Structure formats: structure tokens, C-alpha cells
Structure 1
């Protein structure tokens, strides 16, 4: 399996939570398969209501990596 480097953009109104549609700030997670981003509350909701699957690709949450925005 090959890995590639991912360049993260600072969270602002152009980085939106895939579950809520709201802007993200601070720490969030990004799906390594489809690049959807989620805040902590969205990840908790996905675990509870969507069997822990990504909204974009239906991949499991272990396919998600943590990111931190830098200002």
C-alpha cells in the first residue's frame, strides 16, 4: 500500500463539515479515502447513527486521520 502526503488548508468557511455543512475550526478529521472533513460532534453522530461510516464514501471511520488547522 502506498501513502501520499496530504497538504491541509487552514479551516475557514471554505473547509466545511461534511455532516453539518458548517465551517470547521481547530482540530478536525479528514477521511483518507474521499477527503470529507468532520468535527468531533459529527464523528460522534456518525458513530451513533451511521454505523461509524463516512458520509462521502461509506468507508469506516478507521480510514480517517486527524488534522489540525494552523492560522
Structure 2
């Protein structure tokens, strides 16, 4: 039986790139499956992204181990 971490997280449009275990903590690095996103300011679909900085979010523990998600955070150009 094949088991994928994508199925465990169940986050649409996201895949798990890497899984690392360090200092009794689990780190999952996520990747977005689409190049385009909706701009939070105007709502239009765009691929013009200013920068893509990852952020670290704590998730629920698994088997008593803390879990952290390294998630890309897209920042858009703000045009008038």
C-alpha cells in the first residue's frame, strides 16, 4: 500500500516536497502546485509575484512529536 504525506495533510493545491526529522520534531516542506494565485487586493489571477518567502507554521503533533510546515508565502506587486 502506497502512503503519501499529501493524503495525510489533505491541503488542496499543495504537495509535500520533503520530510525531515530533527531534534524530535517533524518538518514538512510544502510546494504549491499552481504558478498563479489570486491577488488578495484585487482578486484577479496573476503569476506576477514580488517574492516567495517561506514561513514556518506549527501544526498539530503526530504521535507526540511537534510538526512544523515550511510553507511558501507569495507576496504580490501592488499596482494602481
TM-score by length of 1: 0.31
Name the structure with the higher helix share: 1
TM-score by length of 2: 0.29
Structure with the bigger RCO (C-alpha within 8 Å, sep 6+) is 1
Whichever of the two has the greater Rg, that structure is: 2
Name the structure with the higher strand share: 2
